Structure 1
Amino acid sequence: MSRRIVLIRAVNLGGTGRLAMAQWRELAESLGARDVSTYIASGNMVCTPPADTEAFDRAMERAVEQTFGFFREVISRSREEVVAALEAHPFEVIEPKYSYLSFLTAVPASEAIAKARGLQTGEDRWEVIGRELHLRYANGAGRPQLKEAALGRALGVAGTARNLNTVRKLIELAL
């Protein structure tokens, strides 16, 4: 089994969903993952999970909920999938910290994408390519014109976003 990039949505943001990275690593190891490492405190992990990666992701979700009392989606991709998503990024990268990849739990329905196109985004841009939502914020994610939560609701699938600096670092760590 090859190494995977494992992400958990919405932890350690504004005092909600507190999850220490040491505990995140311990949960993965308790479920059979090897070579586990984390990167920054926002739920980024690289590991070699057991053979059934989908079952591992769902087991991680259950373990977080049982241990910490909150549910968060766990989304993983192979290194190759993340490299392909980064290479497919459709926007000019002016500032890597203003450009994001949001890894989705599933491919959004074409009707949902069409509905989301009606949202006001100002100068911010987005595009769905497969299971990834590509974002570019004109003034950074801290001052978005696009409301990512509204976009996620319109698309009908959960996701977790990382800026391109973080994506590149996770690709490097997954070697």
Structure 2
Amino acid sequence: MSTRIVLLRAVNVGGGAKLPMAELREIAGDLGATDVATYIASGNLVADVPGDPDAFDRALEKAVEQRFGFFREAISRTPEQVRAALDAHPFEVSEPKFSYVTFLAGEPTAEAIAKAETYETGDDRWQVIGTEMHIRYANGAGRPEMKGDSIGRALGVPGTARNLNTVRKLLALTGS
């Protein structure tokens, strides 16, 4: 068993992809996870997962799709990886809720990053470090100046973003 922070992309936002957290905990338990906890209703799961973490993530995706009828990527990290991502955040943090870490399913290519860098960002900032994209919104995620979806598509790997408050809370749930 290894402790993982598992993040599901785009659940319980904007009226689609409803996924009750109690049912997510149940599914994770059915897949053999223990010490299962969720945080807020946006697809944040902390658990000790059995075996290969990647295999667990794929099984979780499949189980959610079978039960709820929609596919959502599950992207997981160890607490140490999440801590390292938090520590690597390259931007000044004036409001933690304006700063995000997007956990990517893989590392984008240099060509993909170069393409993404062609998009205007106004006063918003982003930077890819390994398998994470760090974002600092000048006026909050609700009023972005950059086109985050376009940048994400250009990077060519799916990801899911959490603000720094959420990242810190998830680490706290692991005891880290």
Q: TM-score, normalised by structure 2?
A: 0.98
Distance 1:149 1:171 in 2: 26
Alpha-carbon distance in structure 1 between the residues aligned to 2:60 and 2:102: 19
Aligned match of 1:68:
68
Q: Which residue of 1 aligns with 2:78?
A: 78
Structure-2 separation of matches of 1:161 and 1:95: 16
Question: Take 1:114 and 1:103, find their aligned partners in 2: how far apart are those partners?
Answer: 19
Task: State, as a whole percentage, how many aligned pairs show the same letter.
Answer: 66
CA contact 2:108–2:131 (8 Å) conserved in 1: yes
Aligned match of 2:50: 50
The C-alpha deviation readout for 1:65-122, integer Å capped at 9, x for no partner, is 1110000000000000000000000000010000000000000011000000000110
Q: State the secondary structure of the residue aligned to 1:41.
A: coil
| Paired position in structure 2 for 1:2 | 2
SS at 1:113 equivalent: helix
Residue identity in the other structure for 2:39? Y
| Aligned partner of residue 2 in structure 2, secondary structure | coil
Question: How many aligned residue pairs are there?
Answer: 175
- Name stretches of at least 5 consecutive residues in structure 2 with no aligned partner: none
Distance 1:14 1:109 in 2: 30
Amino acid at match of 2:122: G
Q: In structure 2, what is the equivalent of residue 11 of structure 1?
A: 11
1:111 partner amino acid: E
Q: Hey, what's the Cα distance between the residues in 2 that align with 1:148 and 1:70?
A: 23
Structure 1: 4+ residue segments shifted above 6 A: none
RMSD (Å) for aligned C-alpha atoms: 0.6
The residue aligned with 2:107 is 107
Pairwise CA distance, 1:2: 2.7
| AA partner of residue 72 (structure 1) | R
Q: C-alpha offsets along residues 142-172 of structure 1, whole Å, 9 cap, x if unaligned? A: 0001111111100001000000000000001
Q: Give the 3-state SS of the residue equivalent to 2:75 in structure 1.
A: strand
TM-score, scaled relative to structure 1: 0.99
Counterpart-to-counterpart distance in 2, 1:69 and 1:96: 34
Q: How far, CA to CA, are the matches of 1:151 and 1:74 in structure 2? A: 20
Please state if 1:143 is matched with 2:127. no
CA distance in 1, matches of 2:147, 2:66: 31
Amino acid in the other structure paired with 1:39:
Y
Residue 127 of structure 2: aligned partner: 127
Residue 27 of structure 2: SS of its match in structure 1? helix
